[in-house]
C-alpha cells in the first residue's frame, strides 16, 4: 500500500460569480470528508469572476483528484494548487484581549512589535488587528493568550503568485 | 410570450419532440403550453419512471432525454433517475417546477431545494429566477448535457417565471468560460501509446461505455482486427465490440468471464478506452493487471489515474484518439501465441450453468430470448442476478442496444427505461430482462406502456428472492436469508392483465420457447413470468474485495 502523507494544500479557484458556486466547491471537499482549514471568497478585477482560496489538509493523490473534479464544475474557470509555488499570502485576525489599566501598556508594546493596529479600546479590553502570513498571526495570538483572549476572528488566507504570472 | 411558452419554444429549438413527466401545481402553466405544442408528452405514473424513461430514450437514440416534474415531491422523485444518469454519463435535461420566487426558502407548500439536493448527482443545474435567463439556460443545459462526458442537467423553474412575459430571443451560441470539453488527444501521448502498442506481445483492449457514447465502435473493431488484439468489455460497453467476433472475450469483472479476467491479469499492454476502472471491474486494486502497462483514453481528465496508475494517459474523445492511433500505427505486434493461449482458455473455461433438473435455469431463459431474437433485440435490464445473466448470455453486436443501470445499480430501472427505449426506437423489439424484486419497484409503469401502445416485453426471471442478495447471503452470511425472500409476490401474469397488458406464466422448460415466440410477435405490452430455479447463482464470481485471480468459477459453493 502507498504511504499516505497528509499535508496542507492551498487551492486558488477562479469561478463565475453566480449563486451556488461556493456550495458546489465545498461539496467536493466535504463529500470526501475533508475539513476546510480556511476559506476566502471575493470578487476580482473582473466583476463576472470571483476567487476562492481554500486551505485544506489531505494526501496529494486524493487532493489531485479533488482538483480534477473541481475543474469539471461548469462554473469553475480555473483551479490552481499553489502549494509549491512562490507566493505571497496574508491573513487578517481581530483579537479582543483582556486589558485592564495594568496590562494595557504591555499589550500595546506587543502590538507595536507585530505592527498590529489598535482598533478599539475600552475599560477592560482592547481589540487588535493584525495582518500577515499565518505564522506571524499564530505567534501574536500565542503571546496574547497570557492576558486572556476574549474573542478571536480570523479571515481565510488570501494568496497571489509572485511576479507577472496569474494566480 | 410568457415563460412557459418560451420554455416550450426553446425545447423545440433543441429538437425535442418527446418528453416524459407528470403535472402538478406549479407546472400547470408549462403543461398548458405543452398541450398543443406538438411535443409529445408521455405521462408516466411516477416521476422516477419519467427520469428512467428519458434515460432509456437517450441511451437508445443518442439524443438528450427530457423529463418534467412538479416541485417538491415531484422533483425529489426524480433524484434516483438523475443519480442513475449521472453515474452512467447519460444526457438528460430534467425540468422541475418550483414555488414562486417570493416563496423560496419559506418552507412553502411542495417546496424542496432541488438544486441543492441534486448538486452532487447532476453535471450542472440551474435555478432560473428571471425569465430573461430562460433561453440561455436551456441552450446551455442541452449543450452541457450532451457534450464532453455527457450527464444530466436540471433546470428548476419557479411558477412565477413561467407566467412572466418576455420577448423570445433564443441565443445562437453558448458561452461558458469554464467548460471546454477536450476532443483531440495530445499528439505526443498518442505517439507514446503507438510505440507501446507496436512492441506489445500480449495486448488487450478493455472498452466501455465511452465507446458507445463517442460512437467509436468501428474504430475499436479496426484496431482489434489490425492488431489481432483480444477485446474485453465492461457492462456499459456491451455492444462496443461484437461479441460474436472471435476476438471478443466477453465481459470482465466481478461476474465477467474467466478468460477476460485472466487475460487482463496476463496482458502486457492494456488499451483502456472509455472505461473508469470501477471496483466491480478491477476487484482488489493492488492485484489488478500487475503485468501490464496501461494506456488510458478518456474524455474526462478526472478519470485518468483515479483508480489505477496509468503509463500513457490520453485525454480526448475515444473516436478521434483511436482514429489517430490507427493512422499512426506502422507495424503490428505478433500476437499469435497470445491468441492461441486465449483460444485455449475460452475453450476450457466457457460459461456454463446447471441444467440437470426440471427447474428452469434462468440462464436458459436468457439464452432462448437471445436465440429467438437472433441477438438483435434492444435489451434493458433491472439490477441484480437478472442483469448479470442478461450480460453473460445475451451477446450483443451493436451499440445502444443493451441498456442497463451500471454505476448506480438501480433496481426498477429496466422497465421504465424500456418504455423510453421503445419510444426512441418505435419499430424495434424491446425486452426488459427483469427480476421479480426489481420489476415490483416500477411496475406501475405498465399503465404507461398500455396507454401509449408500447409493445415492450418484460421477461421476469422470477425466483422469489432478491436473488443477488440471497446469493451473497448464501456465500458470505452462512445462508441466513435476512429479508431477501419475496414469498408473497403477486401473480405477475394477473397483474399484467389487470393493467391491460398480456400476462403469461411459464413453469416448465418446454413452455419457454412458445411463450417467447408469442410475446415477441403479439404487438402488445407483455409480461412473461418465468418461474425459475430459486437458488441459482451468478457464476463466475469474484468475491468483493478479492483479486480477479481469486475468481470462483463453479456453482458448488461451500
Total domains, chain A: 2
Residues of B at the A interface (Cβ-Cβ below 8 Å)? 115-116, 119-120, 123-124, 127, 144, 176-179, 286, 300-302, 305-306
pLDDT in the model for residue B28: 98
**What residue ranges define each of the domains in chain B, with the CATH number in brackets?**
3-163 (3.40.50.970), 187-348 (3.40.50.1220), 362-539 (3.40.50.970)
Domain shared by A75 and A146, yes or no: no
Chain A with chain B: Cβ pairs closer than 8 A = 41
Last residue of a domain, one of A85, A104, A125: A85
B538 confidence band (pLDDT: 50, 70, 90): very high
Domain shared by A53 and A17, yes or no: yes
User: Which residue in the set B119, B127, B177 is minimally distant from A16, CB to CB?
Assistant: B177
By C-alpha distance, the chain A residue nearest B305 is: A65
pLDDT digits (tens, 9 = 90+) for B441-485: 999 999 999 999 999 999 999 999 999 999 999 999 999 999 999
Judged on CB neighbours under 10 Å (0-12, 13-18, 19+), A141 is middle
Domain shared by A68 and A108, yes or no: no
CB contact under 8 A, A77 and B119: no
CB contact under 8 A, B124 and A77: no
Q: Is the pLDDT of residue B555 over 90?
A: no
Among B350, B373, B332, CA closest to B249: B350
CB contact under 8 A, A74 and B115: no
Domain shared by A12 and A52, yes or no: yes
By C-alpha distance, the chain B residue nearest A27 is: B120
Please check whether residue B67 is in contact with residue B45, taking contact to mean a CB–CB distance below 8 angstroms: no
CB contact under 8 A, B178 and A19: no
B254 confidence band (pLDDT: 50, 70, 90): very high
Q: Which residues of A touch B286 (CB under 8 A)?
A: 1
Residue A71 forms part of a structural domain: yes
Residue A156 forms part of a structural domain: yes
User: Do β-strands A36-43 and A49-59 pair in parallel, antiparallel, or remain unpaired?
Assistant: antiparallel
Mutation target for A interface from B120, B302, B306, B313: give the one with most A CBs within 10 A: B302
How near does any CA of chain B get to the CA of A40, in Å?
20
How near does any CA of chain A get to the CA of B302, in Å?
5
Q: Which residues of A touch B179 (CB under 8 A)?
A: 74
How near does any CA of chain A get to the CA of B74, in Å?
22
Among B35, B29, B32, B55, CA closest to B380: B55
Residue A1 forms part of a structural domain: no
Q: Is the pLDDT of residue B182 over 70?
A: yes
CB contact under 8 A, B123 and A74: yes
Domain shared by A81 and A92, yes or no: no
pLDDT digits (tens, 9 = 90+) for B124-144: 999 999 999 999 999 999 999
Last residue of a domain, one of A37, A58, A85: A85
By C-alpha distance, the chain B residue nearest A14 is: B178
pLDDT in the model for residue B332: 93
CB contact under 8 A, B120 and A77: no
B558 confidence band (pLDDT: 50, 70, 90): very low
By C-alpha distance, the chain B residue nearest A21 is: B119
**Which residues of chain A carry a pLDDT beneath 50?**
1
Task: Write out the DSSP string of B430-469.
Answer: EEEEEEHHHHGGGGGGHHHHHHTT---EEEEEE-SB-HHH
Domain shared by A106 and A139, yes or no: yes
pLDDT in the model for residue B557: 44
CB contact under 8 A, B120 and A27: yes
pLDDT in the model for residue B556: 53
CATH code (residue A73): 3.30.70.260
How near does any CA of chain B get to the CA of A166, in Å?
16
Among B499, B488, B491, CA closest to B419: B499
CB contact under 8 A, A65 and B306: yes
| Backbone region of residue A45 per phi and psi (left: phi > 0; alpha: psi in -120 to 50; beta: other values) | alpha
How near does any CA of chain A get to the CA of B137, in Å?
13
Residue A167 forms part of a structural domain: no
Domain shared by A73 and A93, yes or no: no
Residue A119 forms part of a structural domain: yes
Among A148, A8, A35, CA closest to A89: A8
CB contact under 8 A, A75 and B178: yes
Domain shared by A81 and A10, yes or no: yes
- CA A150 – CA A147 distance, rounded (Å): 9
**Count of residues in chain A:** 167
Please check whether residue B168 is in contact with residue B135, taking contact to mean a CB–CB distance below 8 angstroms: yes
Please check whether residue B388 is in contact with residue B253, taking contact to mean a CB–CB distance below 8 angstroms: no
Q: What is the ipTM of this complex?
A: 0.88
By C-alpha distance, the chain A residue nearest B145 is: A74
pLDDT digits (tens, 9 = 90+) for B270-329: 999 999 999 999 999 999 999 999 999 999 999 999 999 999 999 999 999 999 999 999
pLDDT digits (tens, 9 = 90+) for B348-406: 999 999 999 999 999 999 999 999 999 999 999 999 999 999 999 999 999 999 999 99
pLDDT in the model for residue A3: 61
Domain shared by A93 and A40, yes or no: no
Q: Which residues of A touch B144 (CB under 8 A)?
A: 74
Element (H, E) at B93: strand B92-98
Last residue of a domain, one of A36, A58, A85: A85
Among B171, B117, B176, CA closest to A15: B176
CB contact under 8 A, A23 and B301: no
Cα B349 to Cα B233, B237, B258, B314: the distances in Å are: 17, 22, 6, 34
Mutation target for A interface from B104, B141, B177, B179: give the one with most A CBs within 10 A: B177
CB contact under 8 A, A76 and B115: no
pLDDT in the model for residue A1: 46
CATH code (residue A100): 3.30.70.1150
Q: Three-state DSSP class for B35?
A: helix
Residue A165 forms part of a structural domain: no
Residue A120 forms part of a structural domain: yes
Domain shared by A31 and A70, yes or no: yes
Please check whether residue B76 is in contact with residue B114, taking contact to mean a CB–CB distance below 8 angstroms: yes
Q: Which residues of A touch B302 (CB under 8 A)?
A: 65, 68-69, 71-72
Domain shared by A80 and A141, yes or no: no
Helix intervals (H) in A73-131: 101-113
How near does any CA of chain B get to the CA of A105, in Å?
50
CB contact under 8 A, A73 and B116: no
How near does any CA of chain B get to the CA of A134, in Å?
31
Domain shared by A152 and A107, yes or no: yes
Q: What is the largest CA-CA distance in chain A?
A: 60
Q: Which residues of B touch A16 (CB under 8 A)?
A: 177-178
Please check whether residue B12 is in contact with residue B4, taking contact to mean a CB–CB distance below 8 angstroms: no
pLDDT digits (tens, 9 = 90+) for B25-83: 999 999 999 999 999 999 999 999 999 999 999 999 999 999 999 999 999 999 999 99
Mutation target for B interface from A25, A74, A76: give the one with most B CBs within 10 A: A74
The parent domain of residue A111 ranges over 88-160
Q: Is the pLDDT of residue B210 over 80?
A: yes
Amino acid at each position: 500500500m502507498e504511504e499516505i502523507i497528509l499535508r496542507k494544500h492551498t487551492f486558488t479557484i477562479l469561478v463565475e460569480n453566480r449563486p451556488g458556486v461556493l456550495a458546489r466547491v465545498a461539496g467536493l471537499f466535504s463529500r470526501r470528508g475533508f475539513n476546510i482549514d480556511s476559506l476566502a471568497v471575493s470578487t476580482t478585477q473582473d466583476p463576472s469572476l470571483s476567487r476562492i482560496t481554500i486551505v485544506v489538509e489531505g494526501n496529494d493523490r486524493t487532493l489531485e483528484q479533488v482538483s480534477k473534479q473541481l475543474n469539471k464544475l461548469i462554473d469553475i474557470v480555473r483551479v490552481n494548487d499553489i502549494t509549491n509555488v512562490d507566493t505571497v499570502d496574508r491573513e487578517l485576525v481581530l483579537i479582543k484581549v483582556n486589558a485592564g489599566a495594568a496590562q494595557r501598556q504591555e499589550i500595546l508594546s506587543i502590538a507595536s512589535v507585530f505592527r498590529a493596529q489598535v482598533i478599539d479600546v475600552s475599560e477592560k479590553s482592547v481589540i487588535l488587528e493584525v495582518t500577515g502570513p499565518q505564522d506571524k498571526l499564530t505567534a501574536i495570538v500565542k503571546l496574547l493568550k497570557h492576558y486572556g483572549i476574549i474573542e478571536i476572528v480570523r479571515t481565510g488566507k488570501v494568496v497571489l503568485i509572485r511576479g507577472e504570472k496569474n494566480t | 410570450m410568457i415563460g412557459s411558452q418560451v420554455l416550450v419554444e426553446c425545447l423545440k429549438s433543441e429538437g425535442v419532440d418527446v418528453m416524459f413527466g407528470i403535472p402538478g401545481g406549479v407546472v400547470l402553466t408549462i403543461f398548458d403550453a405543452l398541450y398543443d405544442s406538438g411535443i409529445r408528452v408521455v405521462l408516466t405514473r411516477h416521476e422516477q419512471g419519467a427520469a428512467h424513461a428519458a434515460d432509456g430514450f437517450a441511451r437508445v437514440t443518442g439524443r438528450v432525454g427530457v423529463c418534467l416534474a412538479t416541485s417538491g415531491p415531484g422533483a425529489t422523485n426524480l433524484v434516483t433517475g438523475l443519480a442513475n444518469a449521472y453515474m452512467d454519463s447519460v444526457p438528460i435535461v430534467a425540468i422541475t417546477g418550483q414555488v414562486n420566487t417570493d416563496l423560496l426558502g419559506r418552507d412553502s407548500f411542495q417546496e424542496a431545494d432541488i438544486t441543492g439536493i441534486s448538486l452532487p448527482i447532476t453535471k450542472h443545474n440551474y435555478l432560473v429566477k428571471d425569465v430573461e435567463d430562460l433561453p440561455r439556460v436551456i441552450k446551455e443545459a442541452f449543450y452541457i448535457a450532451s457534450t464532453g462526458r455527457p450527464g444530466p442537467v436540471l433546470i428548476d423553474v419557479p411558477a412565477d417565471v413561467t407566467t412572466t412575459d418576455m420577448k423570445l430571443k433564443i441565443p445562437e451560441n453558448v458561452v461558458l468560460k469554464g467548460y471546454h470539453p477536450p476532443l483531440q488527444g495530445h499528439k505526443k501521448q498518442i505517439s507514446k501509446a503507438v510505440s507501446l502498442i507496436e512492441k506489445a506481445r500480449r495486448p488487450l483492449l478493455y472498452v466501455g461505455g465511452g465507446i458507445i457514447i463517442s460512437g467509436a465502435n468501428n474504430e475499436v473493431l479496426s484496431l482489434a482486427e489490425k492488431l489481432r488484439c483480444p477485446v474485453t468489455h465492461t457492462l456499459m460497453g456491451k455492444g462496443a465490440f461484437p461479441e460474436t467476433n472471435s476476438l471478443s472475450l466477453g465481459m470482465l469483472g466481478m461476474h465477467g468471464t474467466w478468460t477476460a479476467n485472466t487475460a487482463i491479469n496476463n496482458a502486457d499492454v492494456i488499451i483502456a478506452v472509455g472505461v473508469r476502472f470501477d471496483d466491480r471491474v478491477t476487484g482488489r486494486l493492488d492485484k489488478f493487471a500487475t503485468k501490464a502497462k496501461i494506456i488510458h483514453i478518456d474524455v474526462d481528465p478526472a478519470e485518468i489515474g483515479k483508480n489505477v496508475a496509468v503509463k500513457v494517459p490520453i485525454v480526448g474523445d475515444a473516436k478521434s484518439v483511436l482514429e489517430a492511433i490507427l493512422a499512426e500505427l506502422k507495424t503490428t505486434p505478433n500476437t499469435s501465441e497470445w491468441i492461441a493461449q486465449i483460444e485455449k482458455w475460452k475453450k476450457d473455461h466457457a460459461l456454463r450453468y446447471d441444467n440437470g433438473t426440471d427447474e428452469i435455469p434462468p440462464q436458459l431463459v436468457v439464452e432462448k430470448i437471445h436465440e429467438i431474437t437472433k441477438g438483435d433485440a434492444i435489451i434493458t435490464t433491472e439490477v441484480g442476478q437478472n442483469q448479470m445473466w442478461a450480460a453473460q448470455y445475451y451477446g450483443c453486436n451493436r451499440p445502444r442496444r443493451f441498456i442497463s443501470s451500471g454505476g448506480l445499480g438501480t433496481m426498477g430501472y429496466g422497465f421504465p427505461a424500456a418504455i423510453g427505449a421503445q419510444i426512441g426506437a418505435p419499430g424495434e423489439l424491446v425486452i426488459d430482462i427483469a427480476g421479480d424484486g426489481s420489476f415490483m419497484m416500477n411496475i406501475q409503469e405498465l399503465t404507461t406502456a398500455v396507454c401509449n401502445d408500447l409493445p415492450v416485453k418484460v421477461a421476469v426471471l422470477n425466483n422469489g428472492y432478491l436473488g443477488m442478495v440471497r446469493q451473497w447471503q448464501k456465500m458470505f452470511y452462512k445462508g441466513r436469508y435476512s429479508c431477501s425472500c419475496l414469498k408473497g409476490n403477486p401473480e405477475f401474469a394477473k397483474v399484467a392483465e389487470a393493467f391491460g397488458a398480456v400476462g403469461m406464466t411459464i413453469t416448465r422448460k418446454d413452455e419457454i420457447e412458445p411463450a417467447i415466440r408469442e410475446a415477441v410477435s403479439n404487438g402488445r405490452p407483455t409480461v412473461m413470468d418465468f418461474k425459475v430455479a430459486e437458488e441459482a447463482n451468478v457464476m463466475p464470481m469474484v468475491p468483493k474485495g478479492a483479486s480477479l485471480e481469486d475468481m470462483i468459477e463453479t456453482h458448488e459453493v461451500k
